[in-house]
Structure 1
Amino acid sequence: MLPRRDFLALGAATAAMALLPGRAFAAIPTGVKVHGLSAFGDLKYKPDFAHFDYVNVDAPQGGTFNFSPPNWGQNQSPLTFNTLNSFVPKGDAPQRMEMCFDSLMVRALDEPDAMYGLIADGVTISDDRNGFTFSLRPQARFHDGTPLTADDVAFTFKLLKDKGHPDYSLSLTHLDDAVAKDAHTVELIFSGKQSARTILNVVGFPVLSKAFFTANPFDSSQLNPPLGSSAYKVGRWSAGTWIEYERVADYWGNDLPVNRGQNNFQRIRIEFYQDRTAAFEAFKKGEILYREEFTSRVWAKQYDFPAFTAGKVVKHEFPAETVPSMQATAVNQRRPQFQDPRVRRAIALCFDFEWTRRNFFYGSYERSQSCFEKSDFRAEGTPSPEELALLEPLREKLPPEVLGEAVTQPASDGSGRDRKQLGKAAKLLAEAGWKRSGDFVVNDKGGRLPAEFLVEDETFVQVYSPWVANMKAIGIDASIRLVDSAQYQLRQSTFDFDLISAAFSFSATPTRDDLEIFFHSRSASVSGSRNLPGTSSPAIDMLIDAVGAAKDRESLTVAMRALDRALRARRDWIPSWYLANHRSAYWDMFGFPGQKPDFGFPVEALWWIDKGKAAKIGKA
């Protein structure tokens, strides 16, 4: 954090950043129970709404949906699992364990940040706007029939704050207390130091059973399915191989407006494969029914198998969500050789996206430039006056490029070895004190500059090999290390790598908590955080505070663009590529709503089995 004198010296930026928690949700009255929350008070659905507009309330229920989830969070892995506790920093949990647990409120996928009551039927905000009192539905139950009470909620938030995965614990840093007022009333009390929109994250956290986790350890040794409360529960499973989630017939929340038209499959099955080829072969055989295709070569060349040519399998591109996303390579500044930004820039110049796009991606990906791609938060051109009000006082704490044109990754000549760009990279290394000695550059002690990519998939060995070859050409001791999923997860969570690539999506209305886990000094040393490069900058911290302080969407956009400029100028992350759409492939046996929501795409929750289609392709 900045010393107090530096904070006061921020001058005009201080006023732009300042927003006390007392002004959070200013459009929502205090002392009155409300049915929903949103960052700026804009709620589409009224208290008596029947269901979300993007669902089919008449969708039939039943059948098995065996799919390959395209995304995951916390300690989950797409390749294996060795724990059923998805809420702790360590271990590999199966994807979609979150489907088994209800939360106080749930997000509407056709609004950027609105939350509506699930376990809670409403919330009352205190006069100082630091306290949130939730009225719990008395019918809420765990899967064993026991009541879900305020004691469980209070227990959960204290547990996640103390021992939970950083995705949870960092948002709860300023939670002072969680108090069960009675069996159906719980109050969350914050210190006043929290982000104005912290509560939007917190109300979506899973509520756990106090009885279960009092009797069982809250750690990664847990292969006993935790007691849940939601539409699905863990059914059969084989550790590391497959898991099934069974729909709960007497689920207490079936008829709530936030659930109607959703959770239509009787069984959701996920199988785990160590490589993409095996997963694709399973899809071709109909053992997997839905997948998103992330390998351009496969999408372009390998959908020629019998089921596809017979029309049983469909390829379809659905529009991507209108949320900021980042796919990039983190350069780990916990390693001394990467602390000079000139070295990070030199590494970036060795990546020939144009050659990679032509030879590996079949022209399907676009070059990413921003940490918040595909959104209005992507900085363009020179800073606006409003952005300058935030950036100018931080001039001495940020790279000089931040006040000019937004930093972009230059286009190469597409040859695979652009001599001009490699020459610039070599010059940057020399300026940073790395001198050529034979095949390598060395520092003043004669030590080489190692740069090892950590990957868990053979596909990335192929994609990154030309990048590594270019780094070697300018004297970097570059290499690729392919490891198994368990080792990859462990090394990522403990920051034991040089270079590592990742893809993330942010909320359409990012909160300070969303951003802290990726970019804030506080998360740089927290194992399991998403701050993979080890970004630690008081100026970045202040810009994240500005995002958290935004009083409306306009000021939020200004703060996010300023943050984007600063992150891009620091070059902690090397932006890589992105897709404009979801490349979906599925066996033609499903129904789905005609209009995809703008802020989410949970196929497993919104789709259903169309028995007529299934019969036509022999899947009835």
Structure 2
Amino acid sequence: MLRNRLAALLAAAVLTLPGAALAADAAQVPTVRGLALYGKPALPADFKYFPYVNPDAPKGGELVRAAQGSFDSTNPFIIKGTPASGLMAIYDTLMASNPDEPFSMYGLLASGIRLDPERRWMEFDIDPAARFNDGTPVTADDVVFSFRLLRDEGQPFYAGYYADVTSAQALDEDTVRFEFAAENSRELPLILGQLPVLPKDYWATRDFTAPTLDKLLGSGPYRIAEVVPGQRIVYQRVDDYWGKDLPVNRGRYNIDRLVFDYYRDQSVALEAFKAGNVDMRIESSARNWATAYDFPAVADGFVEKMLVTDGQPAGMQAYVMNLRRDKFQDVRVREAINLAFYFPWLNEQLFYGAYERTRSYFEGSDMAAGGLPSDAELALLEPYREQLPERLFDEPLPIEQPEELRPRLRKALGLLRDAGYEVQKGQLVDRKTGQPFTFEVLLYDTQFERIVQPLLQNLERIGIQGRIRTVDVNQYLNRLRNFDYDMIVGSFPQSANPGNEQREYWTTAYADQPQSRNLIGLKDPVIDALVESLIRADSRQALDTAAKALDRVLRWGFYVIPQFHLDGTRIAVWDKFGYPQPFPQYTLDLDAWWVDPQRAKTINQRQNGGG
């Protein structure tokens, strides 16, 4: 199966090198095509394609989508630059996820996988047919190179993702081996399956850390066809893509051209969709969804609206307070600001009743904490009782109190007085310094201003002066990377199986790393320890318990003001596409869509005035 595997094993046995025992161990481990986080993958080893796809979907056509802002780089892996949308389409990973399972992966670049029963190492056999899109083979050296490059020079989250990998080595041209720390995350083997593989020789003469607008080389189903900096990027389907007949790819990557046109204003992007210049729109505004799609093409059945649900937790979207600012250090201040957010009014007046209030960092899952801590949670929390607020153990979780806005603001003002503030001439000031309490909400999308304003108006009633600063996307990203903000609208997306990414969200090691996702600036040894408990969980029950304990501690810290969520994705689309029904259970898979030639012809005739 492998070009040099037998020779490598024989050499190790004859020379009795230190790796000989490891190679012998690997020979005893069965080679499989898929892995699941718990148990076994749902699909048999000889499956032909994912069950939800149309394996005979036609190829061809074009999908035009709107992207917001601008871009100045085609490298999505580094800190510098603003990457274009859609870039991961040019890269293959070692394995591919099945959107119809909570966390199972199957071989893509890897034709075989061996995982130590004790989860101390794993090996990938690289498919001998795998090729980059210039025709050169994908080798084990490319895999090791990619792993080290992303870990050492890529965005900070890669270092957290791969923190428990102690060694990466190419055993031969087709076989790569990773060794793990004694205590590692159960999901680490699947995380490595998500590794995008870059061509070593291609990057040998290029600076990986610098933004570029080159048409970078990958091995994936698409290549970059056109780059207009800041305005448009186009991807062309690779006709001779090496992996087009793999089980994980059949019935997918059907559309010939993927186009992302950039718009600086969302209202302009919406008008472009109505005019037929954009084919698909994922709508984030409840107001638009309720009021902006009353135009002739919808009434005539040429535009379809749908709400696609998925099985993933809603995660946390919130106003994030930056603890790197002294004004947010006191938990009483943070709790008071939370009380000024009044969701019932927002939902009724602005959102047409479309949303639910978010309470948990793992909203919509069994990992969300509730009520008082269970015995299993207490086993994790008791060692830190002296470092945690007493009410965490004795009171139900805070979030949405039943009283109306006025008593909420009265309670908030009491907390602020306890924290050393008082209202003077309508302004909240620090009693010691006399300085007024002011802060800025940093935004990049004018659509969010109307949602922020009610919070600022409520805070003004208790003397806090807040203001909005809306900047362009590039400036926003630069300030975000350097944590140069008081408050932002941030999100902490979650999967059904959270793991290593939690380090970057919450732990001390990432608080001062530019472009990390520790947006809050948390530096708390208790949270650090709970994150490690979650990552090391060895069963579904243990994972749920650790997540609940972490959720409980984060919520009692009042670090963010939880906002709202919708159980699904709103999609408006010109009706020239086919898609599998039912949709996969856990993740929306646009790669399984296709252009229906006859419907596309009818739509194009209408848009061009022919019908």
TM-score by length of 1: 0.90
- Matched residue of 1:94: which SS? coil
- Asked if residue 45 in structure 1 is aligned to residue 55 in structure 2, the reply is no
1:341 Cα offset (Å): 0.8
Equivalence for 2:130:
140
Q: Is the 8 A contact 1:406 1:565 kept in 2?
A: no
Q: 547, 550, 559: which one pairs with 1:572? A: 559
Equivalence for 1:59:
57
Judged with a 3 Å threshold, the aligned counterparts in structure 2 of structure 1 residues 63 and 306 are, in CA distance, closer, same or farther, namely same
Q: In structure 2, what residue type is equivalent to 1:45?
A: L
Q: In structure 1, what residue type is equivalent to 2:560?
A: W
1:326 Cα offset (Å): 1.5
**How many correspondences in the alignment?**
580
**Distance of 1:357 and 1:207 partners within structure 2:** 44
1:445 Cα offset (Å): 1.6
**Distance of 1:29 and 1:53 partners within structure 2:** 32
Q: 358, 362, 375: which one pairs with 1:368? A: 358
Equivalence for 2:489:
501
Q: Is the 8 A contact 1:452 1:499 kept in 2?
A: yes
Q: 297, 317, 321: which one pairs with 2:307? A: 317
**Distance of 2:122 and 2:578 partners within structure 1:** 39
Equivalence for 2:504:
517
1:300 Cα offset (Å): 0.9
1:90 Cα offset (Å): 2.0
Judged with a 3 Å threshold, the aligned counterparts in structure 2 of structure 1 residues 514 and 161 are, in CA distance, closer, same or farther, namely same
Q: 538, 543, 551: which one pairs with 1:556? A: 543
1:229 Cα offset (Å): 0.5
TM-score by length of 2: 0.92
1:220 Cα offset (Å): 3.8
Cα displacement string for residues 82-133 of structure 1 (whole angstroms, at most 9, x for unaligned residues):
0110000121001220111001111111111111111111222346532221
**Distance of 2:398 and 2:46 partners within structure 1:** 48
Q: Is the 8 A contact 1:472 1:478 kept in 2?
A: yes
**Distance of 1:29 and 1:607 partners within structure 2:** 41
Q: 457, 461, 466: which one pairs with 2:454? A: 466
**Distance of 2:466 and 2:28 partners within structure 1:** 58
**Distance of 1:570 and 1:474 partners within structure 2:** 21
Q: 24, 29, 32: which one pairs with 1:31? A: 29
**Distance of 2:504 and 2:162 partners within structure 1:** 12
Judged with a 3 Å threshold, the aligned counterparts in structure 2 of structure 1 residues 472 and 551 are, in CA distance, closer, same or farther, namely same
Q: Choose 1 or 2 for highest CA Rg.
A: 2
- Asked if residue 606 in structure 1 is aligned to residue 592 in structure 2, the reply is yes
Q: 511, 516, 519: which one pairs with 1:532? A: 519
Q: Is the 8 A contact 1:84 1:220 kept in 2?
A: no
Cα displacement string for residues 262-311 of structure 1 (whole angstroms, at most 9, x for unaligned residues):
11100111111111101101100111111111111111111112222222
- Matched residue of 1:618: which SS? helix
- Asked if residue 111 in structure 1 is aligned to residue 101 in structure 2, the reply is yes
Q: 344, 361, 386: which one pairs with 2:376? A: 386
**Distance of 1:155 and 1:464 partners within structure 2:** 45
Equivalence for 1:615:
601
Q: 133, 143, 151: which one pairs with 1:153? A: 143
Q: In structure 1, what residue type is equivalent to 2:98?
A: A
Q: 560, 566, 584: which one pairs with 2:571? A: 584
Q: How does 1:411-450 map to 2 (within 5 A)?
A: 411=401, 418-443=405-430, 444-450=432-438
Cα displacement string for residues 140-198 of structure 1 (whole angstroms, at most 9, x for unaligned residues):
11111111111111111111111111232221223333211111111122333532322
Where has structure 1 moved over 6 Å in runs of 4 or more?
Answer: none
1:549 Cα offset (Å): 2.1
Gaps of 5+ in 2: 1-25, 607-611
Q: How does 1:347-358 map to 2 (within 5 A)?
A: 347-358=337-348
1:436 Cα offset (Å): 2.2
Q: Is the 8 A contact 1:30 1:124 kept in 2?
A: no
**Distance of 2:185 and 2:471 partners within structure 1:** 38
- Percentage identity across paired residues of the two chains: 39
Equivalence for 2:469:
481
Q: Is the 8 A contact 1:30 1:125 kept in 2?
A: no
1:412 Cα offset (Å): 6.5
1:406 Cα offset (Å): 4.3
Quote the RMSD (CA, aligned, Å).
Answer: 1.8
Mean alpha-carbon deviation: is it higher for 441-450 or for 461-470?
A: 441-450
